[in-house]
Amino acid sequence: MPRLAVALLAVATLGGCSKKEPAYDPSIPPPAIQGAHAAAADPANLPPPGTAPAPVPVEKDLPMWNAAIKTLQGQDTNLASYKGKALLLVNVASKCGLTPQYSALEALQKKYEAKGFTVIGFPCNQFGKQEPGSAKEIETFCSTTYGVTFPMMEKVDVNGPGRHEIYKTLTPLADAKGHTGDIRWNFEKFVVSADRSKITRFDPQVAPDDPTVVAAIENALPK
């Protein structure tokens, strides 16, 4: 092989052209999040609870509890796995103007997890195609950008003929303004009481750290 070709091959190899990025490992704690995201994710910055909207009374054995779904890591699960916990169910996206809501969702997770609460995220690509990535890409984004620690499910449809069973149960419920039916955009929220008897719906523009949401979560915690 000519000397120039050998030299170029050596430079390419030593320069990292063939080097692979390390695989994402969910067991490794996410890096510390800096700046505005860190402040928004600090539970100390959450407001005190306000007045929650009236929740919708529901049957305790709704179909959504046993509906099969996979986690973002591909493991089989269902909402019944979280029995006894208050839940905040939210459809999420990585490229939306509302994506910074992840920070406040994480703040809620940190503040209330030990009291019997968890956020559960449902990635969805139905609104402006703002969740186009693979499961690994979504997981990496959430971890490295917002330090997300709450459970994330597989990408699902929340509207239309392919609507997941969980959202078939949720969408008929009314929010405080009387809206029922289709999910309107990314980050629509449903707070489910720990005893499964009540659900409070919030539109996407109501931030997770709005005092009404904080109040709904506190009301939903195990008694």
Q: What is the pLDDT of residues 3-44, one digit of tens each?
A: 444 343 433 333 333 333 334 344 544 455 555 666 778 999
Percentage of residues of the chain with pLDDT beyond 90 = 82
Residue 210: what are its φ and ψ, rounded to 5°?
-65, 140
Active-site positions read 96
Mean pLDDT of the chain: 88
Half-sphere exposure of 62 (CA within 13 A, CB side): 25
Give domain limits for the chain. 37-220
Is 90 exceeded by the pLDDT of residue 61? yes
94: which residues sit within 8 A by CB, 6+ positions away? 123, 130, 131, 133, 137, 138, 141, 142
Section 52-60 average pLDDT: 97
For residue 19, the model assigns a pLDDT of: 33
- Reply yes or no on whether the pLDDT at 50 is more than 50: yes
Residue range 66-83: average pLDDT? 97
Q: What is the pLDDT of residue 2?
A: 46
Is residue 131 scored above 60 in pLDDT?
yes
Average pLDDT value for residue range 121-134: 97
- The class that CATH gives domain 37-220 is alpha beta
